[in-house]
Amino acid sequence: MAGPSIEDIMAMAQKAQEDLQKAQDELGKIEVEGAAGGGLVKVRATAKGQINGVEIDDSLMKPEDKGMLEDLVAAAINDARMKADQAAAEEMKKATSGMPLPPGMKMPF
């Protein structure tokens, strides 16, 4: 019994590339929110990691709390980045779920 033809393999590769591009495009539409300080600082980002906004509770707007505020902003950005990475991994997993890949091979190439 013969395996897939070279044309079939090329068509599968083309479809896989199109599916991956679609998944990459979707990452820019998925938004996650990172938070720190019990929600006093929030950062919105796309699954691609682009920061879309920062929200800081008014109670943190005191010169004497500047260092704490800076730490909370950094923590919220890191939380948003972690959530963006998770959302991106999940989206890419969906895009590659039907592809017959050799063990250990990751997409995109």
CATH number of 31-96: 3.30.1310.10
Sheet holding 51-56, edge to edge: 31-36, 41-46, 51-56
pLDDT confidence of residue 109: 43
pTM over 0.75: no
Give the residue with greater pLDDT, 103 vs 98.
Answer: 98
Q: Which range, of 11-25, 32-46, 79-93, averages the lowest pLDDT?
A: 11-25
For 35-85, how does the pLDDT look when each residue is reduced to its tens digit (9 = 90+)? 999 999 999 999 988 999 999 999 999 999 899 999 999 999 999 999 999
pLDDT recorded at residue 26? 83
**What's the mean per-residue pLDDT of the chain?**
85
Q: How far is residue 93's CA from residue 49's CA, in Å, rounded to a whole number?
A: 17
